[in-house]
Amino acid sequence: MRKGQFAMEYFLVIGFSLVIITPMIFLLHNEYSNVRSDVHREHVSELSRELIYQAEKLYYQGPPSQTTMTAYFPPGLTDVREENNTYIVFKFEDGREINTWSRVPINVSLRTFSGQHNIVLSVKRSETGVYVEIRDDD
């Protein structure tokens, strides 16, 4: 009788512990994923501002000004493009976007693989005027 009671108490304690711990692990994992996504978005936001700052600085120096910068693209980035030659847009898997406005015309052609990128910013002249080209260094 004593051994059976001990086994039953043991299973109750273990079962109760699992009922408490399992949802906690799930919640902590979700919170970790959310924080990681927020950190990636903040990193890309800072990168976007730095790209625009460098583009504006080069634009006012005029052609043939050029600079290269190294940047890290986090996982989950699905698209990088410009809109209306004045916005650089970074799009993530979850549908969120980071838009940064530029005071100068830009043309963006960046690949979206995660990891380190060497980005070349150069001032170009076209029939419509001067713009800053932002592209991967191949």
Rounded distance between C-alpha atoms, residue 56 and residue 29, angstroms: 41
Q: Domain ranges for the chain, please list them.
A: 2-136
Report helix, strand or coil for 138: coil
Report helix, strand or coil for 92: strand
The per-residue pLDDT for range 18-49, each reduced to its tens digit, is 999 999 999 999 999 899 999 999 999 999 99
The per-residue pLDDT for range 44-96, each reduced to its tens digit, is 999 999 999 999 999 999 889 999 999 999 999 999 999 999 999 999 998 99
**pLDDT, mean over the chain:** 92
The per-residue pLDDT for range 84-131, each reduced to its tens digit, is 999 999 999 989 999 999 999 999 999 999 999 999 999 999 998 999
- Count Cα atoms within 13 angstroms, Cβ side, for 91: 10
